[in-house]
Amino acid sequence: MEVSNSPQEERPEGANPLLGLWRQFSKIASSFLGERFSIIDLADPASTIEGIKKDVEFRGFSLWILMFSIIIASIGLNVNSTAVVIGAMLISPLMGPIMGIGLSLGINDFTLLTKSAKNLGVAVGIGLLASSLYFLISPISEASNELFARTNPTLLDVVVAFFGGLAGILAGSRKEKSNVIPGVAIATALMPPICTAGYGLAHAEWNYFFGALYLFLINGVLIATATTVVTRYLRFPMVTIMDPVRAKKTSRWFSIAIIIVIIPSIWIFYKTVSNTLAQSKVHNFVEATVVYPGTEVVKEEITFDQGHPQVSLVLFGELIPENLVEQWEDDFNTKFEGHLDIIQGDNGNDNLLEMSKLVNLYSEGRAEAKTYQDKIADLEAQLSLLEGQLIPANLAKEIKVNYPEVQSLSIGTLQGGITDSTAGTRVPVAFVQWSPSLNDSTKTLRSAQLSAWLALRLEADSVLVK
């Protein structure tokens, strides 16, 4: 008879209670999450396609609205007004043809693709022309921060454009429409890059022109891509059925085009992050090293020459010994392979002398402003006290109604103690002449009643009635 060497027989897989519990939990979680995140049943392909096709065309009202929004956005960028730029993005109709391109690629509607591309070209051309004309005649020729911000698109702009496009097409595909599209227009910022490119064209600033156009290209391509992805996922009806070979080839070229568009933004993002980290390291070194009692760093400039930091520091205060300055410069050059230039305030440099004067004026101005702030606070306190002592305008009429026996009345406040005119204890006083028909005891009683009523009415601790 054969005897098994195993301590116990193998348990069937289905007999494992933990495995069964896990399968049950997975089934419940899958059902719950699938129901929560499902969007296919909520989509309305027919009305979505019809709505996007209506917004593709640029003629008549759409064209005029585009030009008006271009001018508004250009003014906002010119005067560095974020609010005006946002207003222009809200009324801009540029989302239409871009989503039309994405939809046409998603449903293989090549007629719609041609129409959308044509109208987008018209919109961009008119936008560049209108913004260029504005910046040519504008008296403000200096580039604002709002303009500069549209010249260096990075990978983060790619992410914003893609998820903005997803939000836009998902909102547009619902049976119940929402107001997401204006928010998408603000987030993806289609209008400002065109205006910035117009500024670059008007002033021959080609870094502004090409940088802004690249940002617009990123936004447009990623919004269209998001639209294509969603329409395919929601199974919108195809206009043209392509054979598998052609469909695979089209998808390959589409993916290559997107990668080509994105690659420069990845490089710019990498350079931006690298420069930020490098500047942070240099700043930390300067902050920890350039320390001397009685001396302060009032100006710090950090630039990079072929990856090597060039730092210029302006110091004011006690004169630092030359050997210590040379040691700091050597340490900096050894650590960063760059150059540290330390300028002290007593070297006769005209610019430094001018800066010294400005620093002194600033310090004096702060001290003087502090003095005025103290005076204002004191005056406000006095004003608050005086306002509390004002007698209501209708008080005499109220007293006449409540106390018809009063023939004449004078009300004021008396200063308690020997103090100035706005401090100390001030007591309300009422001088009353009662009707001669009242006897002395009645006058005393009515005076006490009037005193109590006036104290309540004037919110005072007590009121003297004479």
Lowest-pLDDT range, 27-41, 42-56, 247-261, 437-451?
A: 27-41
Q: 294-345 pLDDT, tens per residue?
A: 777 877 888 877 777 888 888 777 778 888 888 888 888 888 888 888 877 5
Strand segments, DSSP code E, in 121-264 are none
Q: How confident is the model at residue 186 (pLDDT cuts 50, 70, 90)?
A: low
Segment of 28-37, 252-261, 353-362 carrying the highest mean pLDDT: 252-261
pLDDT, tens digit, 9 for 90 and up, residues 442-466: 778 877 877 777 777 776 767 777 7
Q: What are the DSSP calls for 282-344, one per residue?
A: HHHHHHHHS--TTEEEEEEEEEEETTEEEEEEEEEESPPPHHHHHHHHHHHHHHHSSEEEEEE
> Which candidate, 340, 347, 279, 273, places its Cα nearest to that of 312?
340
304, 361 in Cβ contact below 8 A? no
Percent of the chain beyond pLDDT 70?
78
pLDDT tens sequence across 155-169? 787 788 888 778 877
Per residue, what are the HEC states of 149-177?
Answer: CCCCCCHHHHHHHHHHHHHHHHHHHECCC
pTM of the model: 0.58
Q: Which domains does the chain have, with CATH numbers?
A: 45-241 (1.20.1080), 290-353 (no CATH), 395-465 (no CATH)
Q: H/E element holding 7? A: none
CA distance 103 to 97: 10
CA 91 to chain CA centroid, Å, is 19
The pLDDT tens digits for 76-135 are 888 888 888 887 787 777 888 888 888 888 888 888 889 999 999 998 999 899 999 999
pLDDT in tens, 235-260: 888 887 777 787 788 788 878 888 88
Q: pLDDT category, 218, cuts 50, 70, 90?
A: confident
| Residue 50 confidence (pLDDT) | 84
